[in-house]
Structure 1
C-alpha cells in the first residue's frame, strides 16, 4: 500500500537539515519500507508498506531520530485521504498559488477552534476541519499574518503546511 509521509520542520530555516538522498537510503534499509521516493527538500516521502499508517509514522519517526538525531513529527496519509482533502477545499476557485493546506497531526479541541476562528485578518481566510486547515492568504503566504506556527499555537496541535502544487504532486506520486 502507498503511503505519503509529511514531515514537520525539516530543512526549514536551516534547521533539522536532512539530505533527501540520505533519508531515502536510510528508509530503504528498513525491510517494511519499500519504493521510497522523496519530493522536494521540505520533507515529503512516498513509500510502499504493508504497515498501517500509524505504524509507518512511528517507524519513519524512529528511523529519523536514530539516523539523523532529529525528533521530527511524521504524519502519514493515503492517496485517497489526500484526494479527499483536496476535493473538499473551499477555496478551490481562487488563485492556485494562494491555496494552502495545514495538515493537523491530531484533532483540535473545540474551544481551541473557537479561539482561532475569533481571529480575523483582512485578506486571509481559513476553514478548519478535524484533519486540516484550508488556508487562503489572498495576498500570498509571504505577506500573511497567519502561518503554520500560528495555527499550531492556537489549535494546540502539531501541524505542517503544504501548498496546492505540492499536494497535487504528492497525489500523483502516490498512484
Structure 2
C-alpha cells in the first residue's frame, strides 16, 4: 500500500475533554506515523502512513485511550477526500468569513428527511447542504447563535464532527505540506 496523508478529526475535544497537542504529536510519531502535525488545541492532526484507514483509526484510538483517556469518535479523511470536500463546497460565497461556514464530516449518509427537518430551523440566509457525506452549514449570523447549528448534531442522526472553514483551509495546507514531505 502506498503512503496516504490522513487528516485526523477528533470529535468532542474542548471543554472538559483535552487532547494536548505536543504529547499527541510525540505519541503519534512514536507509533510510526510520519510528518505528524497538529492544528490548534481542538482535535486536529495530520499524519502520513501506508496503513489502511481502519488500521490507522484503531492505532490512533488505542494511543488516545491509553495515553490521554480519550475515547471519543475519530474521523479520518484522506487528503484526496479533503480536496473534494473543499472543491464541492456548495457555498463558495461564504468562504471569505470562514467562521460562518462549517463542514461536518459524516460517518454515514444521513436520511434526506433528517436534512429536510433541519432546514426548518434555518433563518435569514442560513443554509445546509449535504454532498458526499459532508454537511455544509452556512450560518452568517454566527454558529453559536444559530438554531440550525444547535439542532444539527442530534438532527443529522449520524456520527459527525464539524470544523469551520478557516480550519478546513488550514488543515488542507498542513496535509499538502505533509504530502510534499512524504
What is the CA deviation profile of residues 56-78 of structure 1, one whole-angstrom value per residue up to 9, with x for unaligned ones?
12221121111111212111111
- CA gap of 1:109–1:62, structure 2 versus 1, over 3 A, is farther
Counterpart of 1:6 (choices 9, 20, 24) is: 9
Contact 2:122 2:147 in 1 (8 A): no
Aligned residues: 171
State the match for 1:126 in structure 2. Answer: 128
State the match for 1:151 in structure 2. Answer: 152
Unaligned runs of 5+ in 1: none
Decide which moves more: 100-109 or 69-78: 100-109
State the match for 1:166 in structure 2. Answer: 167
Q: Which has the higher helix share?
A: 2
Contact 1:8 1:73 in 2 (8 A): yes
Contact 1:102 1:161 in 2 (8 A): yes
What TM-score, normalized by structure 1, do the two folds share? 0.88
State the match for 1:83 in structure 2. Answer: 83
Decide which moves more: 39-48 or 60-69: 60-69
Q: What is the alpha-carbon root mean square deviation over aligned residues?
A: 1.8
What TM-score, normalized by structure 2, do the two folds share? 0.85
State the match for 2:180 in structure 1. Answer: none
Q: Distance in 2 between matches of 1:113 and 1:142?
A: 20
State the match for 2:28 in structure 1. Answer: 27
Q: Within the alignment, does 1:103 sit opposite 2:101 as a pair? A: no
